[in-house]
Structure 1
Amino acid sequence: MTRWLGVALLPRADHLRSAIRVQQEVAGGHTLQPPLTPEGNLPHTTVFQGPFLDTLEPDVELDRIGGALSLPEEIRLHSTGVVYQPTGWVFLSLERPPLLEKLQDVVVGALAPHLDRDAFDTAKEVSRFTDNERTSYARYGYRYTGEAYTPHITLGRTEEQAAQALVRDAAARSSVPAAWIFDRLSFYVMGEHGAHAQTLVERALKRT
């Protein structure tokens, strides 16, 4: 049985609430899907996600990932703005420091053997992907790995022209914090548009 799962960084509680506020402010009178909430679709920064075989044990792998890196208690990532991403996505873009690149390398290395490659959507429209994104998708079934890694908090998805208009007006409509603080790693069940729909396992960044 294929399970659609992901590993993500979760914001500290106050920053989680800030992300929900930013989504609401950026959306204005439109609807960005899915709505972010403190209990359901959590604001998050995906490290890796995709279709996995039953051989994957989320609790075991998350402990292994945490033990493979020396992580601080908190990771602070500076915002680089609200950006549009084809097609119809509104992202709160974040910087990509070496620590985050190393974290993704460890996560991908641990989880890639469990990928259900037969579940990759080979008919997916990728014409608007960058070359690096196409390479990433073909290799891992996920658009943002390696050179294509694009740390972000997804603010939602909507109709194409509406998404572009929301991004153009975002600075006037919303006050976006200059930096975002993350203090947990989670293994989650993917929901609508890859949302963090259900937490399976959660661990503090720094192991005690």
Structure 2
Amino acid sequence: MTRWLGVALLPRADHLRTAVRLQGEVGGDVRLRPPLHPDGNLPHVTVFQGPFKDSLVPAEALELIGTAAAENGLRGEVRLSSTGVVYQPTGWLFLALERPPLLESLQEAALAALDRHLDRASFDGSKDVSRFTADERAGYERYGYRYTGRAYAPHMTLGRAEEETALELARTAQDRVNLPKEWVFDRLSFYVMGEHGAHAETLLERPLART
């Protein structure tokens, strides 16, 4: 049976609550989907997500990823600067974050642990990739997730709206919202994907403090 799962960085509790509030502030009168909630659909930075075969054991995979990350210096808390609210085709609003080498290494560790368990037969071959960049298309074809390798784009998803609405919200966000300059993340999670790839259910968590 195919399972749609992901690995993510989760914000520290206070920053998680701030991200939930930020969704409402950026959306204003528009209810962005899916709604973020500190006890449900969690704000997160996706490391990787996709369809997996039954051969995947999430606890084993998360331990491999976390151990590799620690060996590469990702321990305790990781602080990431925000680079703004951006629009992403089609209809998405992202809080874009910096991409330090530590995060690139984290995704590489995730791909090394997860690649052989991917259910490639479940990749959506009919997906419209006409607005993907060349690197995003390459990532999607190989891994079923557009933001891999050179196309990796660390972000927290703020939600989705009608195309023109999302463009306008992204254009005006800097004038309407006091955007935190730094975000702190303190744990990894393995999660069940929900609406639009949301962090719908936490299967496992692993503090970054472990070595």
TM category, shorter:
over 0.9
Equivalent position of 2:106 in the other structure: 103
1:163 aligns with 2:172: no
**Per-residue displacement from partner, 1:146-205 (whole Å, max 9, x unpaired)?**
100000000001110010011011112211110100000000000000000000000101
Question: 1:1-208 residue pairs with structure 2 within 5 A?
Answer: 1-70=1-70, 71-207=74-210
CA distance in 2, matches of 1:175, 1:198: 29
% identical aligned pairs? 67
TM-score (norm 1): 0.99
Aligned-partner residue type, residue 19 of structure 1: A
CA distance in 2, matches of 1:69, 1:95: 17
Which portions of structure 1, spanning 4 or more consecutive aligned residues, are displaced by more than 4 angstroms? Answer: none
Contact 2:69 2:75 (C-alpha < 8 Å) held by counterparts: no
RMSD: 0.7
**Per-residue displacement from partner, 1:72-122 (whole Å, max 9, x unpaired)?**
200000000000000000000000000000000000111010000000000
Aligned-partner residue type, residue 26 of structure 2: V
CA distance in 1, matches of 2:175, 2:24: 13
SS at match of 1:184: strand
- Structure 2 portions without partners, runs of 5+: none
CA distance in 1, matches of 2:69, 2:178: 34
Contact 1:77 1:181 (C-alpha < 8 Å) held by counterparts: yes
Contact 1:28 1:173 (C-alpha < 8 Å) held by counterparts: no
Q: After TM superposition, give the deviation of residue 64 of structure 1 in Å.
A: 1.4
**Per-residue displacement from partner, 1:23-56 (whole Å, max 9, x unpaired)?**
0000000011000000111000000000000111
TM-score (norm 2): 0.97
Q: After TM superposition, give the deviation of residue 69 of structure 1 in Å.
A: 2.6
SS at match of 1:69: helix
- Structure 1 portions without partners, runs of 5+: none
